[in-house]
A and B are shown apart, each in its own frame.
Chain A
Amino acid sequence: MSRDPSGRADSRNDASVREAMLAAVPSLRAFAISLSANVDRADDLVQETLLRAWANLDSFEPGTNMSAWLFTILRNLFRSEYRKRRREVPDSDGAYADSMKTQPEQASRVEFEEFREALGKLPPDQREALVLVGASGFSYEEAAEICGCAVGTIKSRVNRARTRLAELLAIESIEDLGPDRELRAVFSGGGS
């Protein structure tokens, strides 16, 4: 609300704010990519978030969690965009994989892609709750604040997300491993 009239204090704050924003960029990107499933769009979201945050520094309460504040802005930006455009065209698997720093081995890469695909099938509410709590390291309370809902709502979304993921992944693994397992049983039963 009221801005510190001291120019000195301001610029010192600005420096530390800038640093805190910089430090938050990697996890903001990870969150944005999990929301939009499109790396370019996600990076635009992060950029918009930083600009919006900088323009509204007055509304940030010093001493509170800068990261949670930025996540809130990003999430709200995504939500308002989402309503307008619906879901962005997801990257092809290749494009996403190319953006990855480490190239996992073939087997774990397949698993990685399967998981990412399953994550993309979750309803947005559940996905964001799961990511905030399960990956970004926010408490249920912080996640509730970021999403503007009750703590209990976050808890049930996370639970439903986990259950749904388990279903999606189990179905895939039955399809993938089922026949294979049978084949292996046949081979081991017949040979040697």
Chain B
Amino acid sequence: MKERKSSRPEGLVQVRPSPARPGPALNREIQTKIGQQLRAVYDDIVDQGVPDRFADLLRNLDTKVVRTEGVDKDASE
């Protein structure tokens, strides 16, 4: 889009809306609604918290590394 602008005669540029805006400016109400719905969909999953599967996974990862390091270095601490 930017490259086309440079090839266009200068007089025509002003016909287009300001490139800072994404096409026709979105109705603020719609924008707010979109934001709210997006967050609702997202937060619904976030609110599920951490399924056991992942808590277990991370716990086991931790144990494994500690054990490896313990063997590698010193069994104490």
Contacts and interface: CB of A to CB of B under 8 A. Distances in A.
Nearest to B77: A8
B22 A131 contact: no
Which label, helix, strand, loop or mixed, suits the secondary structure of the B interface?
helix
Interface string A98-132: 01111000000001100110010000000000110
Contact of B22 (A46, A119, A134, A156): A156
B53 A47 contact: yes
Nearest to A23: B50
Interface residues of B, number: 38
A129 to B, nearest CB: 12
B57 A50 contact: yes
Nearest to B59: A18
Interface in B20-60: 22-23, 26-27, 30-31, 33-35, 37-51, 53-55, 57-59
A15 B62 contact: yes
A59 interface: no
Contacts of A34: 41-42
A21 B58 contact: yes
B53 A135 contact: no
A29 B62 contact: no
In this complex, the interface size class of chain A, counting residues with CB under 8 Å from chain B, is 35 or more
26 contacts: A10-B69, A14-B66, A18-B58, A22-B55, A25-B51, A26-B45, A26-B48, A26-B49, A26-B50, A27-B46, A29-B45, A30-B42, A46-B54, A51-B57, A51-B61, A54-B61, A112-B40, A115-B40, A134-B34, A135-B39, A135-B41, A135-B43, A159-B22, A162-B26, A166-B27, A170-B30
Interface of A: 7-8, 10-11, 14-15, 18, 21-22, 25-27, 29-30, 33-34, 43, 46-47, 50-51, 54, 99-102, 111-112, 115-116, 119, 130-131, 134-136, 156, 159-160, 162-163, 165-166, 169-170
Given A30-B42, A100-B45, 14 more contacts: A7-B74, A21-B58, A22-B58, A26-B50, A34-B41, A43-B53, A50-B54, A54-B65, A101-B47, A102-B44, A102-B47, A115-B38, A135-B42, A163-B23
Closest 10 CB pairs of A and B: A159-B22, A135-B42, A30-B45, A115-B37, A26-B46, A25-B50, A30-B42, A25-B54, A166-B30, A7-B73
